[in-house]
Amino acid sequence: MTTMIKAQNLTKDYGDGRGIFDINFEVQKGETFGFVGTNGSGKTTTIRHIMGFLKPQKGFCQVLDKDCWKYSSEIKKWIEYVPGEIAFPDLRSGTEFLKSQAELLNLKDMSYANYLIEKLQLDVTANLKSMSKGMKQKTAIVAAFMANKDILILDEPTTGLDPLMRLSFLELLDEEKKKGKTILISSQMFDELETSCDRVALIFEGHIVDIANVKELQNLPYKMYKVEFLIPEQYKKFKESHYQVLRDQEKYNQVTVKVFDKDLHQFFNELKNFKLKFISEVNYNLEKYFMEVLNKYQNGGSNVQ
Amino acid sequence: MFSKALFKQTAKAHWVRWMAVTVSTCVMLAIVIVVLGNLGINDIRDSLKNVFIQADQQSELKEKSIDSYELYLTTTDTYNQMSMLQSVIENSVTDFKTQFATLEDKTEENAKFLALSVATEKVNSSFFANLMTEEQKASAISFISATLLYSLQEPEMSAMELVKETYGEMVYTAAYDEALSDGYNDEEALSQADGAKELAFIAIDSYVTKSSSGSFVYNVDNFKDEARVEVNNMMFNNVEESQLKSGVSEDEALQNAVAIKIISNTAITTYQALLIDENFKNSLNITETDADKIQEIVISSARDEACKSISDQIPDKVSEALTELGNMDMYSLIIGSIFYRIAGLLLPMVFVIMTANNLLAGQVDSGSMAYVLSTPTKRRTVTVTQMAYLIFALFSMYALLTVVSVISVWISGGNSFAINYGEILLLNLGAFLTMFAFAGFCFMCSAIFNRSKHSLSIGGGLTIFSLVCTILGLFGSAVVPSAMRINAMDFFNYLSIITLFDTASILSGGLNFIWQFGILFGIGIVTIIIGILRFDKKDLPL
């Protein structure tokens, strides 16, 4: 496996606790890597370092073993980039912009660009300045994707897109992924990353708190069930059984337990003896996982990684 | 180092602004040169100049009248003295002639010596000798000896005729020398000498006529009015003659001659009146006690007073200011100091400030720079290309302005226009280099700052500050006439880069502009290099 993107001890301190601190991660070839975090957590700063726009104070980042700062123009041979803030040069129409961008990329064949325009239902003849946020976003996506390079770096690419467009975009992303492209994507939305990413890093206040393997999260060897009892005595009795209680809500006689797949049969057999109000499976997802991690991180102050 | 695609993109983004600025500046320039050229803004200057020239000419004329008047009186006075010595002179001539005939060696030297000794002997032995002062004797002797020498040339002439001719010759020589020393050329000096001699003869003839009428007693006062009239007539005749010669119509010549006669008459009358005016004498506050010296002062003061022209009558400061106004070249002021250094710089300046900011800082601020830099384009390539565009835009703007200005000068009369082709080319080159320096500076600010507002306020702010200082400094610079000038305002010129574009020096043919242009070019180059180097190394929030 080739390491496409690598960051090691990457630090940029803007003062007042802002900035990024000791960022470490690697993205392998063909992998889709996600960044998730709140506003100002450091996603964009990290991406700017990879793009060679910012000079690290400490540590380094590399693309295909080339230092991002030193070889900032060379690494662009492999990188397609959709910036977080969409602002276009002073040109009149989308067509003009895409043409100019193609010239800068030394791109002669526009067939893929036309395919993208079709797919995203983009009206390129529109005036660049009067475009809606979503239109601009689509134009930016076409401008980045059309060169068909190996690495895709996307900074919150779905903001401003309507739900249907988001879907087509995610489809597009999937196509790119199938072509074997390496993708680095940042977002505030967990579900989006969960469906498209192989691994997702959680950034909080400039630190990578955890890097989660999405496949592993989806294929957990246990399930979680939320059970509410009609009779409080039975609720208390059940709590004392050997299942691991994840959440206990005494007020409602509710309990959430973790049940390993092998114990499933036994679990339901046991429940036959209780009078239940309801039972439901609790979906475990990235968001839940990260919330747990974050709680632990903030309370314990210890880095999980 | 250079990206054609980026250059194209930048040119496309800015061409509307470029067109607007270039076209309006060209139109402004054409209007300034052509329209003002045909209005003849130098007319006022010319008429002012004429007033002063005429005033000076009048003053000269008056002086000449008074000189002639004095000459007339001196002549009658001298001739009167000589006629009293008539018998002495007649004896001297006879003696001199016989002695000269016996002279073995008739050289000029010997003749002179003989004439002097005869004159000395006759004067001293005459009965007048006791009545004359030593001074009068000496002048009589030298005059008589000159007369004796002249008798060798004209042996047939009577003694008094010789005196007249000798005196005429003396007046002629003196007038010729004086005219030469006053700066007239040889021809003019000769004609003036002729005039003086003629006037002297008129005076002598008049004296002879009067003295032959029997009961004649010489009194200078009897000749004063006559002298004035004769001088007036002479001035009249001179002017009429010369005017007719130069092809002026008879009527006009007569008119001018009358005008001159009146000026001459006024001057002499004033002079005469002032000489005997006790109030005038008192107003001079003479501290001398010697009577002769007092008389000398009164005479010269009376002359000055009588010859005064307009420029002498108004206060010195006003007259200086008016003279300066007369000498001021309105074209150089309006085209050089106002258009090329202020009005014509304003729009290109706005173009440079806005464009330079847009080329880097504006794109970094908005984030659009990300698109260029996410392609394999080096930062150095971006800066060099953007700078190349800015210089190209400025260069083509000034190339067009140069064409427009040359055509405008051609329409306004080419090299006969107040500003010639070479000067207009230098003005355009200077304006381009000034803008080049500003462009470099604004570009440097654009490269250093990530925020438009910072780049604009430093780059644009200092640029506009320079222009404002030049406007204020104009009121303290030497191109503005002293009546309007406030010297303290010159201070502002030291705060502005535009001061290095010295249009006044260019238009007056100075060579200072060479090193000044060099500095402007240097400022541009250095700031561009600083900008490019800085942009390579800084963090970009894209």
Q: Which of A145, A162, A182 is the last residue before a domain boundary?
A: A145
Q: Which residues in chain B have their CB less than 8 angstroms from residue A54's CB? A: 539-541
Q: Which residues in chain B have their CB less than 8 angstroms from residue A57's CB? A: none
Would you state the pLDDT for residue A2? 85
Concatenate the DSSP letters of all residues of B155-196 into one string. TTS-HHHHHHHHHHHHHHHHHHHHHHHTT--HHHHHHHHHHH
CA distance A108 to A149: 14
Give yes or no: residues A5 and A73 share one domain: yes
Backbone φ and ψ for B355, nearest 5 degrees, come out as -70, -45
pTM of the model: 0.70
pLDDT for A296 beyond 50 = yes
Name residue, tokens 């739900």. A163
Extract the residue ranges of chain B whose pLDDT is less than 50.
none
Give yes or no: residues A156 and A238 share one domain: no
The predicted-structure confidence for B54-107, as pLDDT tens digits, reads as follows: 777 788 888 888 888 888 888 888 888 888 888 888 888 888 888 888 877 778
The predicted-structure confidence for A58-101, as pLDDT tens digits, reads as follows: 999 999 999 999 998 899 999 999 988 888 988 889 999 999 99
ipTM: 0.84
3-state secondary structure of A13: strand
What sign does the CA torsion over B411, B414, B420, B425 have?
Answer: positive
A53 and B373 within 8 Å at the Cβ level: the answer is yes
Give yes or no: residues A182 and A292 share one domain: yes
Give yes or no: residues A7 and A138 share one domain: no
CA distance A47 to B381: 23
Helix (H) or strand (E) holding A62: strand A58-63
CA distance B492 to B465: 10
CB A136 within 8 A of CB A88: yes
CA distance A75 to A63: 6
Q: Kindly state the tokens that stand for B77.
A: 């006075």
CA nearest B440: which of B471, B401, B394, B400?
A: B394
CA distance B459 to B447: 10
pLDDT higher at B303 or A153? A153
Residues paired with A268 in a beta bridge:
none
Strand A244-249: give its sheet, edge to edge.
Answer: A244-249, A254-260, A222-229, A276-282
3-state secondary structure of A45: helix
CB A34 within 8 A of CB A196: yes
Q: Is residue B339 part of a domain?
A: yes
CATH number for the domain harbouring residue A262: 3.30.70.80
By residue count, chain B amounts to 542
CA nearest A114: which of A97, A132, A98?
A: A98
Angle at A197 (CA atoms; ends A194, A199), nearest 5 degrees: 100
B375 and A104 within 8 Å at the Cβ level: the answer is yes
CA nearest B442: which of B431, B455, B429, B433?
A: B455
Out of A146-160, A197-211, B38-52, pick the least confident. Answer: B38-52
Q: Which residues in chain A have their CB less than 8 angstroms from residue B539's CB? A: 53-55
Would you state the pLDDT for residue B42? 63
Name residue, tokens 């002279």. B103
Q: Which residues in chain A have their CB less than 8 angstroms from residue B379's CB? A: 72-73
Q: Which of A145, A171, A191 is the last residue before a domain boundary?
A: A145
Q: How many domains does chain A have?
A: 3
CB B523 within 8 A of CB B455: no
Give yes or no: residues A129 and A9 share one domain: no
Task: Give the best residue of B357, B381, B382, B542 to mutate against chain A (max A CB count within 10 A).
Answer: B542
Please state, as a whole number, how many other Cβ atoms lie within 10 Å of the Cβ of residue B194.
13
Would you state the pLDDT for residue A305? 40
Q: Kindly state the tokens that stand for B158.
A: 């009577």
The size of the A-B interface in CB pairs under 8 A is: 88
CA distance A217 to A185: 19
Whether B1 and chain A come into contact, CB under 8 Å, resolves to: no
Q: Band of the pLDDT at A304, cuts 50, 70, 90?
A: very low
Name residue, tokens 């702010």. B461
Measured CA to CA in angstroms, residue B528 lies from B158, B304, B446 at distances of 97, 66, 10
CA distance B47 to B52: 9
Backbone φ and ψ for A58, nearest 5 degrees, come out as -145, 155
Give yes or no: residues A163 and A260 share one domain: no
Q: Which of A145, A168, A194 is the last residue before a domain boundary?
A: A145
The pLDDT mean for chain A works out to 87
CA distance A110 to A94: 14
Domain that holds residue B415: 4-42+329-537
Q: Is residue B131 part of a domain?
A: no
Whether B14 and chain A come into contact, CB under 8 Å, resolves to: yes
CA distance A117 to A12: 37
Strand A151-155: give its sheet, edge to edge.
Answer: A79-82, A151-155, A182-187, A32-36, A199-204, A207-213
Dmax over CA atoms of chain A, in Å, equals 75
Q: Kindly state the tokens that stand for A109.
A: 């064949």
Angle at A260 (CA atoms; ends A258, A261), nearest 5 degrees: 135
Give yes or no: residues A127 and A162 share one domain: no
Domain that holds residue A255: 221-282
Q: Where are the beta strands (DSSP E) in A101-158?
A: 151-155
Q: Is residue B365 part of a domain?
A: yes
Characterize B449-461 residue by residue with b for buried, 16 or more Cβ atoms within 10 angstroms of its Cβ, and e for exposed.
bbebebbbebbbe
CB B337 within 8 A of CB B477: yes
CB B420 within 8 A of CB B413: no
Q: Where are the beta strands (DSSP E) in A64-195?
A: 66-67, 79-82, 151-155, 182-187
Dmax over CA atoms of chain B, in Å, equals 126
Query: Shortest Cα distance from B363 to chain A (angstroms)?
Result: 7
Q: Which residues in chain B have their CB less than 8 angstroms from residue A48's CB? A: 540-542
3-state secondary structure of B98: helix
CATH number for the domain harbouring residue A9: 3.40.50.300
Name residue, tokens 């925020």. B451
Measured CA to CA in angstroms, residue A159 lies from A83, A86, A162, A192, A290 at distances of 11, 10, 9, 11, 21
Give yes or no: residues A293 and A200 share one domain: yes
Nearest CB to A73 within list B6, B8, B376: B376
Using the 8-state DSSP alphabet, how is residue A231 labeled?
Answer: S
Reported as half-sphere exposure (CB side, CA atoms, 13 A), residue B133 has a value of 3
Q: How many helices (H) and strands (E) does chain A have?
A: 10, 14
3-state secondary structure of B269: helix
Task: Give the best residue of B2, B359, B375, B382 to mutate against chain A (max A CB count within 10 A).
Answer: B375
CA distance B75 to B66: 14
Outline where B421-484 has alpha helix (H).
421-448, 452-455, 461-474
Q: Kindly state the tokens that stand for B421.
A: 């082709």
CA nearest B160: which of B113, B123, B119, B207?
A: B207
Q: Is residue B413 part of a domain?
A: yes
CA distance B313 to B345: 44
Pairing of strands A79-82, A66-67: unpaired
Measured CA to CA in angstroms, residue A231 lies from A235, A274, A275, B362, B416 at distances of 6, 8, 7, 69, 116
Helix (H) or strand (E) holding A122: none
Whether B371 and chain A come into contact, CB under 8 Å, resolves to: yes
Residues paired with A20 in a beta bridge:
A12
Give yes or no: residues A71 and A8 share one domain: yes
Residues of chain A above pLDDT 70, percent: 98
B375 and A144 within 8 Å at the Cβ level: the answer is no
Q: How many domains does chain B have?
A: 1
Task: Give the best residue of B1, B355, B374, B540 to mutate against chain A (max A CB count within 10 A).
Answer: B374
